[in-house]
Amino acid sequence: MGDIQKHIKSMEALGDQFIEEMHELSEKGGGQKIKQFRQDLDIAEKRITEIDNVIMKLFEQSALGKISDERFEKMSLAYENEQKELTQKRADLKARIGAEEKKAQSTNQFLETIRKYETVTELNRSMLVELIDSIYVYQAEGTGKDRKQK
């Protein structure tokens, strides 16, 4: 009985370590990515606002005759292209932030589920349904001893 008790304690310690490492990876990796994406998003949004202001001033300069129509066209086109790229980048960053937040939430939900069942000694149907999303069984290949199936 002593060996079984030691083995169980060892397995519990490994389980606790696994959960802690998963939580740490989720917080550290996802949090850093989200932080960087948010910083990039702030920079892009500030630049979009700056470009709006520059285009307004450029328009005023054109209206007052201080720059030629040709120069106005070139400059406004360059700024509008930059703003279009930044707008696309902003949408991409928002999507990435959402994906990272969803990934972190999924990891946390997984860890909560694992903690809920860490002292279980016997599986039942409801536990399996909660723990397993899907099982894939592929077509068997070969025959006899060479038969393999994923």
Q: Return the HEC string of 6-62.
A: HHHHHHHHHHHHHHHHHHHHHHHHHHHHHHHHHHHHHHHHHHHHHHHHHHHHHHHHH
Q: What is the pLDDT of residue 18?
A: 67
Q: What is the pLDDT of residues 54-69, one digit of tens each?
A: 999 999 998 999 999 9
Q: What is the DSSP letter of 65?
A: T
Give me 20's structure tokens.
């802690």
| Residue appearing with tokens 């199936």 | 149
Q: What is the pLDDT of residue 91?
A: 96
Q: What is the pTM of this model?
A: 0.61
Mean residue pLDDT across the chain: 83
Region 89-114: what's the mean pLDDT?
A: 87
